[in-house]
A and B are shown apart, each in its own frame.
Chain A
Amino acid sequence: MRGYWLNKAFNELRDPEARRRWQSDLEAYLGEFPLSERERQLVRDGDWGGCIDAGASVYTLTKVGATTGVSLLQMGAQMRGQTMGQFTEFLADQNERMSRFAIPFTVKEGRTDG
């Protein structure tokens, strides 16, 4: 698996004790894993897109979000190269554009609901 040790370092954060270690001393926490200096720098920089490019899964990255208080949407804005404000605006616009595709709860003909 590409980025295995990044994923491992991130996924250990399911444990509240690991979250405390990250929060109190990030360098020491990262030192627990055989990460490359480049990988360590991506984490120090909070370069979430860089972590993904290095092989991290978004599903382990969300545990970093839970530990550091960075939301998935904030990570997403960074990956898009946008401010949170710009991303929120994009989403509001997308909601508008998408609404015509919605399908209300539709029971098939000849069926009775419930």
Chain B
Amino acid sequence: MAEILGGLGCSHAPSIAHVYDRKKTREPEWQPLFDAFDRAQEWLMSLGVDALVVIYNDHVDHYPLESWPQFAIGVGEKFEIADEGWLPRDFPPVPGHPDLAMHLATELVASGVDISVAYEQVVDHGILSPLPVINSGWALPIVPIEFNVIFDPRPSPARCWQFGQALGEAIASYDPASKVAVVGTGGLSHQLTGPDFGRLCPEWDREFLQLIQDDPEKLTAYSTADFARLGGEHSVEIVQWMAMRAALPAGSSSEFVFYYPHQIMGYGIAGFRAP
């Protein structure tokens, strides 16, 4: 049985990439966030895992508008950097883990989760915003798993939780020598359209952080519309944190938490350790 040693939830806002690329991470307004990422990375690397399974959402940078999947997994050997309109960021391709990824695809489908398989893909800010600050130098290979949180119909939070449970079992049935951490990216509160553009919902963010730490299954009672109302339309990507949390072994618990509501994003980072 492969072992899942821990999980990490973190925001993936483009601002993280913007600040990083312009070397502004130590400016007073951004230092709290990047100091927290440093400590999160130090912890993640201290687990001694040999791969990261990263649950994220693509922003129509790889998966096609023309045929948009609900769930998809990248089984490639490497992932090129997406051009989101400003040319690709200056990073080498991110290494994949085809063997683990194909195992997960096979096991997920066998367990009733009919995930699409990407044999070649680029990765966008859903992964690349946090990756340089949690997996610097691409120290670990990744398996990218994509959720549809953008276009209706979308899988419900409860379905994303089930996905996470199936993912946890699929990882556990992999090569016994393997050690894995699961990362869920996105959120927390943000609203990127309409008259409330830029509004944050810190009370809800704190409630969400408390629930994801102490009583995560309770989040399955919320609908996508509930999350949109409570944290802003574009905060619904927190289902990726839910799936990460659901993938962790029973008895996993909170290791650390960080929250920084700033500008147009409720930035959150939380770590979880398996028992």
Contacts and interface: CB of A to CB of B under 8 A. Distances in A.
A11 B192 CA distance: 17
Contacts of B87: 16
Contact of B198 (A19, A59, A91, A99): A91
B261 A101 contact: yes
B258 A103 contact: yes
A15 B273 CA distance: 41
Contacts, number: 126
A73 B14 CA distance: 12
Contacts of B262: 95, 98
Contacts of A113: 39, 42-43, 256
Interface residues of B, number: 50
Interface-centre pick from A49, A58, A72, A81 (highest chain B CB count, 10 A):
A58
A59 B60 contact: yes
Contacts of B83: 14-16
Contacts of A105: 35-36, 39, 256-258, 269
Interface in A21-64: 49, 52, 57-60, 62-63
Interface in B182-236: 192-200, 202-203, 205-206, 209, 234
Contacts of B253: 108
Interface-centre pick from B65, B84, B253 (highest chain A CB count, 10 A):
B65
Contacts of B257: 103, 105-106, 108
A14 B80 CA distance: 14
Interface residues of A, number: 47
State the main secondary structure of chain A at its contact with B.
helix
B205 A11 contact: no
A94 B198 contact: yes
Interface string A86-114: 01001100110011011111111001011
A66 B83 CA distance: 10
A42 B155 CA distance: 31
Contacts of A60: 60, 65
Contacts of B256: 105-108, 111, 113
A13 B254 contact: no
Contact of A91 (B196, B203, B206, B263): B263
A14 B32 CA distance: 32
Contacts of B65: 1, 4, 7-8, 11, 60
Interface in B71-112: 82-87
B230 to A, nearest CB: 14
Interface of A: 1, 4, 7-8, 11, 13-16, 19, 49, 52, 57-60, 62-63, 65-67, 72-73, 75-77, 79-81, 87, 90-91, 94-95, 98-99, 101-108, 111, 113-114
